[in-house]
Amino acid sequence: MQQELTIMIELQRLDNLIADAQEKLDNIPEYLETVRNEYTQVTADFEAIDGTYGSGDSEYNKISADYEEHKALLEKANKKLPEVKNNKEYEAVLKEVDTLKKNISEAEIKLVQLSETNDAQKKQYEELKGKKAELEKIVAEKEAQKNEEDSELAGKLKKYLAERDKVSKGLKKSILTKYDRIRNARNNLAIVRVEDETCTGCYIKVPPQLYVEIIKDTSLKECPNCQRFLYFKKDEEEQGE
């Protein structure tokens, strides 16, 4: 195989590794994104509760105060009953007792309801608070993991770039420029194999005469459709990783 092709194939291998490392560095991995999203959701839920948390307390206190007051009044009214002088007064006190009893009973129901609501809210508040703290820890762990991976990737990337620099020196400047131009224009892929008379970059069949020339391997050939450099390799000579 022409030496320039061999060099370009190696260059392409490095460029694939570089692009892969770069992409991993730029992307937020799923394991981090998932836990970040979960944390955002729990934080929003928590803050929604946090804003209203305890708002039932003042209502509870007010009803509770009324309840105690009515109970005291009822006691007083009950004591008054045996001392009444006439029927009219008796009925008036009885009516007062009834009203107070009704108020007290209503307040009791309301207090139980409010207490249940407050307890449920408090439970939810505590649960979300705990979950939020737990997720905060996990997010920090996953971020540390990503940082570790990034620093490893950055090391590899540096190594690949240095190798690329070295390998590319084996090419004539004009060919390297062309290689890079095609690579930039064609999805990071500048040199591809011809298989079954087809360019594996754009999957267009190459003209028969060109195909013969590529197999002859005497000068650099490009795909007439995508302009990528083309080379031929028999199937049994699979390109090593």
- The answer to whether residue 202 forms part of the interface with Zn ion (CB under 5 A) is yes
Among all chains, which residue has been given the structure tokens 């079954």?
196
Does the protein bind Zn ion through residue 220 (CB under 5 A)? no
In terms of Cβ atoms closer than 10 Å to its own Cβ (0-12, 13-18, 19+), residue 175 is: middle
Of 12 and 70, which has the nearer Cβ to Zn ion?
12
Please tell me the count of residues contacting Zn ion according to CB under 5 A.
6
Regarding 187 and contact with Zn ion (CB under 5 A), the answer is: no
Nearer of residues 43 and 188 to Zn ion, judged by Cβ = 188
> Would you count residue 182 as binding Zn ion (CB under 5 A)?
no
199 binds Zn ion, rule: CB under 5 A: yes
Counting contacts by CB under 5 A, is residue 194 touching Zn ion? no
Give the C-alpha separation, 196 to 10, whole Å.
Answer: 23
Query: Binding of Zn ion at residue 225 (CB under 5 A)?
Result: yes
**Of the ranges 32-40, 77-85, 137-145, 223-231, which one interacts with Zn ion (CB under 5 A)?**
223-231
Name the DSSP class of 222. Answer: E
Taking CB under 5 A as the binding criterion, the range among 11-19, 62-70, 162-170, 202-210 that sits at the site for Zn ion is 202-210
Please, what is the Cα angle at 69 between 64 and 71, to 5 degrees?
95
Q: How far is CA 173 from the centre of its chain?
A: 44
Question: Is residue 215 within 8 Å of 193, Cβ to Cβ?
Answer: no
The two tokens of residue 151 are 């620093």
The minimum distance between CB 211 and Zn ion, in angstroms, equals: 12
Rounded Cα distance, 71 and 21, in Å = 76
- Residues near Zn ion, by CB under 5 A: 199, 201-202, 223, 225-226
